[in-house]
Amino acid sequence: MTTAVATTTTPVTCPLCEATCGLLVSTADGGSIRVRGDRDDVFSAGYLCPKGAAIGELHADPDRLRRPMLKRDGVHVEVTWEEAYDEIARRLPPLIAERGSNAVALYFGNPTAHNLAGALYLRPLVKAIGTTNVYSAGTVDQIPKMFVTGHLYGDVATLPVPDLERTEHLLIIGANPLVSNGSMMTAPDMRGRIRSIAERGRVVVVDPRRTRTAEAATEHVSIRPGGDTWLLLAMVATLVEDGLVDLGHLDGIVDGVEEVERIAKDFPPESVVARTGIDAATIRRMAREFATADRAVVYGRMGTTTQPFGTLASWLIEVLNILTGNVDRPGGAMFPLAAAGQPNSRPGPRRPFRHGRWHSRVSQLPEVMGELPAVVLAEEIATPGEGQVRALITVGGNPVVSVPGSATLEDALAGLDLMISIDPYLNETTRHADVILPGPSPLERGHYDLLLYQYAVRNIARWSPPVFDTDVPPEWHAMLRIAAIVGGMPASTSVEPLDDALAAAVASLNGAEPATGLTGPERLLDILLKAGPYDLDFATVEAAPHGIDLGPLQPRLPGVLSTASGRIDLAPAAITDDLERLRAEPEPADRAELVLIGRRHLRSNNSWMHNVGSLNRGSNTCTLHVHPDDALRCGLSDGGAAVVASRSGRLEVAVEVTETIRPGVVSLPHGWGHDDVPGDVARARPGVNSNLIGDQRLVDAPTGTAVVNGIPVEVVPA
């Protein structure tokens, strides 16, 4: 079991969401853990949220796995690490030998982006297996944003973030950062930041719900779900109409401006009123206020990416920023310059972004970033034929709860020949695994936010050490050991030589020397820091426990671009081709039909923190939000039960009548449905799995990203 190595206070970075807050974790003899915000943190300056405050409880959760589990006769039992790897060695290589590499699929989830093992050792595992069946939570999330930045700027990581410290006009579309704490925009204390922007300028929130963010904003514009693409086109049309297109310093490095102007002219504000539910005068005013603000930026998130036109909406967000000259200037959308691992800061030529290099076998959906859409995983497992998936490795993911069409996926998992999960919980997904390999708790491992600093609104670097010792091997051991087994090595192969070889390869790729005296993620991080744009290495970040402030974002154009032309490609065909689908979309009927969207809660984190007592209580409930008009029309009452049905499933849930939601729209959070898993706290308030009524066939066509916002549903009293 774990023993405290520190009886005092350790500054650590919270790895639970994208805000990367600095925490002070105090441990005392007897095992009590106290958590506060770290006021000296160069980025978060003392801010923390209830999840960060509960990290000690998470660490201590008795249901968190500390030993590998093997499924024997349908029941999970604790085994030794040797037994676990022997089982993998006995079953995985023969399966690959018989059915080929593509018979093995990988699914990795959100926590792998918050974990150095995931950031550094997952790719080598994927490569060792050599499968094209790679899936992640990204295709139920942000992929349209990355697809767009890949095509416009040349690299999926070349993603401009709102310069919150200097902007005077922040237009937020389909995001609720006061609750989510920000996404693809690493910025602790969103409440404080939004308050400052509202004091010096404007914050406008476009959302079908009056969210906490909308309440803190200077204006809330209620939109009909999925209307964003039309809204943004009409805003661009207004700029063109009023002569407000002004590229400023971007003039001369953007191709395709005329084409975009031509496209937008077909969408004057009057033509989109039914689509958006917003009147033409408001759309014109929004466009004019945005274009005439000194420093303005549009920011869009889940409500714009996980909807039927996620790529077009994400594209138009960039378009609006570019046409008003707000990309790459202070107070606009700027490109961070991370200290380590940022592909667009490496010198030398880079290959422009490509997608669709292969397609899924059954539905022919395209590859993006080496991944296939998560919505096709179930059919790839269940459909017989050459290339059928027969084994699955999940790493930090709970697709049964996170991916639309849960019932089908659950059936498919039950029929696999082999399933391995690197995961610290026995849950809705891992209960199907033959082998579960848990890793250390977030307080038992070192941490550096390699991925999230690529989206930070200020350039910073922060290493945090483990607070506790543990005898649970790090997750990167599991990734290297499975890779070795797939490579034909015995289950007992030691990880050190494998890690040395990886470090040598990473070093040679980055033109640096692997340090002696370091191993594992620390050594790889050292290489990436040395190869990075600042004069840093592992020792320097380790010596700064509250982080290193590398300053506000700086202009990076044109050097940051890696498009074939070396310029910004504003109207790539890969994106504009989807306008045809948009034009063919029928106008929404005057509807009795309801559409379902999601929502998040501050004291919740996707599907996996509901077993922490201080988080799973109070208003953090899995209820269906319904507008009073709809409640009346459908015969629903507050606190009563409703049956919600889509074309792919149905579920029963408690109703919460609220005026914060737009008429015609209902909202249900995802990540629930824990009736049948270990964990007394989670099971006591299980909620329902909203993805039971998620529809695998509803996707953003260019990327195959799931639509989780805007699912047609019928709601009747239960």
Ligand X SMILES: Nc1nc2c(c(=O)[nH]1)N[C@H]1C(S)=C(S)[C@@H](COP(=O)(O)OP(=O)(O)OC[C@H]3O[C@@H](n4cnc5c(=O)[nH]c(N)nc54)[C@H](O)[C@@H]3O)O[C@H]1N2
Nearer CB in complex with ligand SF4: 25/401: 25
Q: State the binding string over 471-500 for ligand X (x if CB under 6 A, else -).
A: ----x-------------------------
Three-state SS sequence of 111-173: HHHHCHHHHHHHHHHHHHHCCCCEEEHHHHCCHHHHHHHHHHHCCCCCCCEECCCCCCEEEEE
Residue whose token pair is 């706290």? 681
Beta carbon of residue 140, minimum distance to Mo ion (angstroms, whole number): 8
- Nearest by Cα to 695 from 685, 707, 678: 707
Report what 214 binds from Mo ion, ligand X, ligand SF4, none; CB cut-off 5-8 Å by kind. none
Rounded-to-integer distance, Cα 571 and Cα 151, Å: 9
Beta carbon of residue 553, minimum distance to ligand X (angstroms, whole number): 20
Report what 43 binds from Mo ion, ligand SF4, ligand X, none; CB cut-off 5-8 Å by kind. none
Residue whose token pair is 């916002």? 709
Buried b (16+ CB within 10 A) or exposed e, 1-39: ebebeeeeebbbbbbbbbbbbbbbbbbeeeeebebebbe
| CA count, 13 A, side-chain hemisphere, 437 | 25
Residue whose token pair is 């009563």? 640
CB of 628 within 8 A of CB of 656? Answer: no
**CB within 8 Å of 351: residues ≥ 6 apart:** 562
**Does residue 616 touch ligand X according to CB under 6 A?**
no
Cα Rg for the chain, rounded, in angstroms? Answer: 25
Beta carbon of residue 528, minimum distance to Mo ion (angstroms, whole number): 24
Nearer CB in complex with Mo ion: 141/526: 141
Cis link prior to 521 (omega < 30° from 0)?
Answer: no
- What part of residues 206-245 is at the interface with ligand X (CB under 6 A)? 206-209, 211, 223, 225-226, 228
Give contact residues for ligand SF4 (rule: CB under 6 A). 14, 16-17, 19-21, 48-49, 51-52, 181, 188
Report what 60 binds from ligand SF4, ligand X, Mo ion, none; CB cut-off 5-8 Å by kind. none
Which amino acid would we find at residue 98? E
Among the candidate windows 497-505, 509-517, 541-549, 603-611, which touches ligand X by CB under 6 A? 603-611
**Does residue 459 touch ligand X according to CB under 6 A?**
no
Report what 188 binds from ligand X, ligand SF4, Mo ion, none; CB cut-off 5-8 Å by kind. ligand SF4
Rounded-to-integer distance, Cα 261 and Cα 397, Å: 42
Rounded-to-integer distance, Cα 314 and Cα 366, Å: 18
Nearer CB in complex with ligand SF4: 649/669: 669
Overall size of the chain counted in residues: 718
Among 424, 520, 532, 679, binds ligand X (CB under 6 A): 424
Beta carbon of residue 625, minimum distance to ligand X (angstroms, whole number): 9
Give contact residues for Mo ion (rule: CB under 5 A). 141
Beta carbon of residue 453, minimum distance to ligand X (angstroms, whole number): 16
Among the candidate windows 333-341, 344-352, 596-604, 613-621, which touches ligand X by CB under 6 A? 596-604
Query: 104-108 and 391-395 as β-strands: parallel, antiparallel, unpaired?
Result: parallel
Q: State the binding string over 689-708 for ligand X (x if CB under 6 A, else -).
A: -xx--x-------------x
> In the complex, which residues of this chain contact ligand X (CB under 6 A)?
17, 109-111, 115, 137, 140-141, 173-177, 179-181, 183, 206-209, 211, 223, 225-226, 228, 301-303, 307, 395-399, 402, 422-425, 427, 439, 475, 597-602, 604-608, 670-671, 690-691, 694, 708-710
